[in-house]
């Protein structure tokens, strides 16, 4: 006898109306909370690289005679890491059962940065709260 099944993707909802009622009940982002270990490791790797690049940029700018080519290369790398971050959220955030595209995430980040920068902080915080709540529930 063969035991064969697939572990389903589990999603938890973030209602943007919890941030501000003006969003209404239709504004919902679904968070994939049981993604594979490799996706979690990808996130961690991006953020370690991002922090290292920011530290390197600060050091390069603080030099007695800053090397502008080196600074520009670091800034380019930070832009690439931002794209990686946006792509990662595109894997984890869904709407109506479909993953958001990187373009969707870029548009969301850009619109929030322009009109309500705290929205993205809140959304990212809620994303990880839901992921951690799911994982903690499994431990109990």
What pLDDT, in 10s, does the model give residues 28-82? 999 999 999 999 999 999 999 999 999 999 999 999 998 999 999 999 999 999 9
β pairing state of 93-95 and 11-15 = unpaired
Domain ranges of the chain: 12-139
**pLDDT at position 137, please?**
79
**pLDDT at position 139, please?**
63
Q: Is the distance from CB of 85 to CB of 120 less than 8 angstroms?
A: no
What pLDDT, in 10s, does the model give residues 19-33? 999 999 999 999 999
Decide if pLDDT at 140 tops 80.
Answer: no
Q: CA-to-CA distance for 65 and 68, rounded, in angstroms?
A: 9
Decide if pLDDT at 135 tops 90.
Answer: no
């Amino acid at each position: 006898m063969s035991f064969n099944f697939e572990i389903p993707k589990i999603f938890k909802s973030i209602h943007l109306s919890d941030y501000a009622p003006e969003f209404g009940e239709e504004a919902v982002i679904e968070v994939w909370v049981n993604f594979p270990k490799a996706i979690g490791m990808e996130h961690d790797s991006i953020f370690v690289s991002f922090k290292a690049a920011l530290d390197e940029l600060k050091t390069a700018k603080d030099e007695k005679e800053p090397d502008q080519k080196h600074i520009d290369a670091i800034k380019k790398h930070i832009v690439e890491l931002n794209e990686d971050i946006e792509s990662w959220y595109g894997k984890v955030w869904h709407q109506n059962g479909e993953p958001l595209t990187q373009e969707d995430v870029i548009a969301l980040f850009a619109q929030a940065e322009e009109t309500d920068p705290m929205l993205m902080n809140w959304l990212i915080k809620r994303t990880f709260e839901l992921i951690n709540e799911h994982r903690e529930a499994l431990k109990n």
